[in-house]
Structure 1
Amino acid sequence: MNLSNVFFQGAMCFPQKKALIYAGGSFTYEELNTIIDHVALYLRDLGVTRDHRVGLYLPNIPEWLMFYYGTARLGATSVCIASAFKKEEMTYLVKDSMSSVVVTSEELLPHIPDRKEIPHVKEVVVVERDQALRSIVEGKKRKTSALKPLGCEGDEVATFLYTGGTTGVPKGAMLTHNNLLVSAQNVCYNEKTVPEDVGLCFMPLTHVFAQCHIMNSTFYGCATLVLSKGFDMDAVFASVVENKITRFYAVPTIYIRFLNNPDSKKHLRTLSYVFSAATSMPSEIVRQWQQEYGLPIHEAYGMTESASMVTFNHRYRHKIGAVGAPVGIVEVKLVDDQDKEVGPGETGEIVIRGPNIMRGYFNKPEETANAFRNGWFHSGDVGRFDDEGYLYIVDRIKDIIITGGENVFPKEVEDILYTHQAVDECAVVGWPHPEYGEAVTAFITLKQGKAADEETLIRFCKERLARYKVPKKIHIMKELPKSPQGKILRRELKKKET
């Protein structure tokens, strides 16, 4: 089944319903489905065939999703390149993926390398300049073409999503048509998406959260997607009010900013469902949000390699601190360092198998073999199950701090710091220490109008944590380094030690 089929039900059942709203206007399901047909034909005329890859180096604009689904409809593979990437970063992805066509915009054109550096690229499409493409996008070609989505085997690759950029060399996770459709179905079923829903997306579409969890599932459920180029608080407030947004998706830092803004509540009244991803939400923030808004912040567990959702914290059986139970026919278990399964209440590495798991990393057989062992995908995350089968994320294996022979999970320390009334954001890392091996070290930002010093915060931790878990040093900063998706970059904090 072809990924672009997510539009067929909407085009047949709700042809005049708005599928996409953006700053310049909107498209109905019928209009968007027709445009995707023509974009596929446009790519075919450029010489793109089933075994080719098309690099998408675009901001969050309608052309991004037109080329994403148009490439899938042709049976080729899209390569997702973050618009935040500069020349060196995007060049690496274009070369690594061997993309034959790159689609970009005027604002990103300065970061496109000289064609001599990327000789395998046969065409660079600038979406604002190509007149044939403008005729398609602007609706001058409204007749439905004879093109139908190519029948695809479930394991044929639809897109490359790159992962590992914050910790090492990026790896292209090969997600199949089946991976993406199963993910969209799981999200729709568990979140109870209905055609009347309106979801807002300001996260980069190159990120698994925006692409798989928000965009694909919205169209699969025949709902409406409001697309924004990025996060601006006033613009988000205006969009929620104007478009009567019912579903809101963000990362923890956004929810913290809302809680610190006294105007937030009056602007967010239409929301009936809110969801957080990219990194674990501190339990204290969930409690504050629920008290203030009367809505739980829902979480799931997933990653690029699983096309988003693996577990879901159910709408009607929500548990604060958990990321829920496995969805659909996805299997999850916890194993020790000998790959032996551990029981409820015990911690272990989270391993997964199911129809949502990627085919592997492109041209990286060793990394693929390391990730897939004994038929299971090894996530590198540590978790525990409770007696009801709900999963709790403890931390990343690579982030565990070993101090004086004791293991410290950064999240456990961070959760305590978040309960302090002055702490806005925090991250805990291990710094080299001559005696302990590593020293627990915290970095925090303070809420506006609040004050606290290092001594006060260390004393606060001592009253609530075992002695070896208490930070040896706490750095109070103006801001913490973050990725384009809003995830705090621990590796940048670790560099500060040198």
Structure 2
Amino acid sequence: MSDTIRDLLAAHADDLHALGAPDRPWLTHGGLRDLTAQALGALNGIGIGPGDRVAIVLPNGPEMAAAFMTMAQGVTTAPLNPAYREDEFDFYITDLKARALVVAADYDGPALPVAERHGVQVIRLTHDPASPAGWFELETGAAGAAPEYADPDDVALVLHTSGTTSRPKIVPLLQRNLAASARHIGTTLELTPEDCCLNIMPLFHIHGLIAATLSSLAAGGATWCTPGFNALSFFGWLDAVKPTWYTAVPTMHQTILARAERNREIVERNKLRFVRSSSASLPPQVMTALEETLAAPVIESYGMTEATHQMTSNPLPPLPHKAGSVGIEAGPLVRTADVHDNRILEYGATGEVVISGPNVTPGYEANDAANASSFFEVEGRRWFRTGDQGVFDDEGYLRITGRLKEIINRGGEKISPLEVDEVLMDHPAVQQVVTFAMPHAKLGEDVAAAVVLREGQEASERDIRDFAARHLADFKVPRKVVILPEIPKGATGKLQRIGLAEKLGLTG
């Protein structure tokens, strides 16, 4: 059993493609192994090895992918969003207790004064644009040493939870967690050395790191690293790279869909084996349109950081994949549980989604209260509470009915925002919608929705509310509909319900 990243990547032929990028030759699997030995040797030469934390602040692209894939084999990596401001870097770098910070050779951003202030060693990463995609050198000022690799129980990756409603929590993920998740994803998607993923996801996020990149490399396949999602460039990349698949969040899929018709010839000559969607609920209408437009199955999966990404997934054909469902178990055991007494429920009973398996974090770091509320033991297993509410159908497909903390409590009546989203998405003028709670003086909360209209279409707030009233019980109909040119998104492209009322000035 492969229980470390090194084990996962050791078996593939030297000449297979591993990492690609625009205007760069391919880095092979053999080249990636050579780069790993060089990078870890450089870090070991300055006394940084397994258990030591290295913050990585690099732009999306092959060097970021390669830095994570190589360093995570022998130190604890902490990828951070390059767009953070100085106070954000100050929080994350100090909270992580990072020993070193890896930045690009020409980086002159806000992470530097933070590192200097806290005595964190800065390591510059240099690369030659003529070299294979991802190939880099670390400027440490010291001679390299023999590379030291991590053990299965060493922490490979630390990430913070989003911290929407409280202080972000540190999620440590072990070598064995990453190895298990990469295997699970590879099995679900039937990945082989013939596959190439077009990565448009940020590489400071678990989705891009594990689903797009590590799972591809673990299968002997390749990942082609873009500089980040760009709808104007997507179809050009598709034509140049001819990938077999890509993975994205729903907002990215919707943007791709909006530009697909004007790129019809490129789509027709570049057939994808499948498209994957994860990290947020994919509206069934978008899934259907995407499948028709790209002529490929769209596989919706369900993931989160604490599970090293994937928990369930719709399967590939010939097994059915169901719109509105996040699929069947795809790695860990997945059940629903009673939120009050930790009782595992029968299939068909709505409850909190809980998981148990080799890809699940051992627990939040230095946070006994969060661990006590998030983990429980029953039936001889340790279960993690996802915070999502869901229900299985009689074929074992899971449908997420809402995030527990996002369920709208309107005077005691509980409303799933996802249910309202799906109804409003059927309105012919609606391109995108996010339903959320807004404060109400007497009821506590009421229903509101932010809507983006399709290009060239018109609809008023009253039109949309009337449409909802024909399909929903009165208490579920949004009392306020805000029509926007664009809905505010998080750093990874996800729509965020919590806090949206405040952002849109609906709290007064």
TM-score normalised by structure 1 residue count: 0.92
Match of 1:288 in 2: 289
Tell me which of 335, 344, 352 is aligned to 1:349: 352
1:47 aligns with 2:47: yes
Identity of aligned residues (%): 30
The answer as to whether partners of 1:258 and 1:264 remain within 8 angstroms in 2 is no
What is the aligned partner in structure 2 of residue 438 from structure 1? 445
Residues 139 and 270 of structure 1, relative CA distance in 2, 3 Å threshold = farther
Offset, 1:117: 6.3
Alignment partner, residue 141 of structure 2: none
Structure 2 stretches lacking a partner, 5+ long = 139-143
Q: Residue type matched to 1:32 in 2?
A: L
**Separation in 1 of the partners of 2:291 and 2:70?**
40
Match of 1:257 in 2: 255
CA drift at 1:91: 1.8
Q: Which amino acid aligns with 1:347?
A: T
SS of the residue 2:81 aligns to:
coil
SS of 2:173's partner is strand
Residue identity opposite 1:342 in structure 2: L
Q: CA-to-partner distance for each residue in 1:134-186, whole Å, 9 max, x for gaps? A: 9x94699xxxx99566351x332111022224443222210000100010101
For the aligned residue pairs, the C-alpha RMSD in angstroms reads: 2.3
Q: 1:93 & 1:148 partners in 2: Cα distance? A: 28
Stretch of structure 1 that moved more, 468-477 or 319-328 = 319-328
Partner of 1:56: helix, strand, or coil? strand
Contact 1:174 1:362 in 2 (8 A): yes
CA pair 36-468 structure 1, distance change in 2 beyond 3 A: same
The counterpart of 2:327, out of the listed 324, 328, 349, is 324
Structure 1: distance between partners of 2:230 and 2:83:
16
What residue in structure 1 maps to residue 178 of structure 2? 180
Residue 386 of structure 2 corresponds to residue 379 of structure 1 = yes
Q: Which residue of 2 aligns with 1:84?
A: 83
Any unmatched runs of 5+ in structure 1?
none
Distance 2:137 2:58 in 1: 20
C-alpha distance after superposition, 1:168-219 (max 9, x if no partner): 3222210000100010101111101111111111211111111111111000
Distance 1:270 1:46 in 2: 47
> Aligned to 2:479, which of 472, 475, 494?
472
Letter in 2 for 1:78: T
- Structure 1's consecutive aligned runs of 4 or more residues displaced over 6 angstroms after TM superposition are none
Cα separation, 2, equivalents of 1:109 and 1:242? 32
In the aligned structure 1, how far is the partner of 2:105 from the partner of 2:469?
54
Contact 1:184 1:220 in 2 (8 A): yes
SS class of match (2:272): coil
Quote the residue 1:207 is aligned against: 205
Matched, 1:308 2:315: no
Secondary structure of the 2:51 match is: coil
Q: Which moved more, 1:101-110 or 1:209-218?
A: 101-110
Normalised by the length of structure 2, the TM-score is 0.90
Deviations 1:375-426 (A, max 9, x none): 2100100000001111111110000101122100000000111111111111
Partner of 2:412: 405
Q: Check 1:294–1:494 CA distance in 2 against 1; reply closer, same or farther (3 A cut).
A: same
Aligned length: 484
Aligned to 2:492: 485
Structure 1 residues 14-63: Cα deviation after superposition (integer angstroms, max 9, x where no partner): x1222111124121111121011100001111220323111111112333
- 1:57 and 1:83 in contact (8 A); partners too: yes
Is it true that 1:497 corresponds to 2:500 in the alignment? no
Change (3 A) 1:162 1:31: same
Q: Is the 8 A contact 1:5 1:149 kept in 2?
A: no
Deviation at 1:289, TM superposition (A): 2.1
Secondary structure (helix, strand or coil) at the match of 2:498 reads: helix
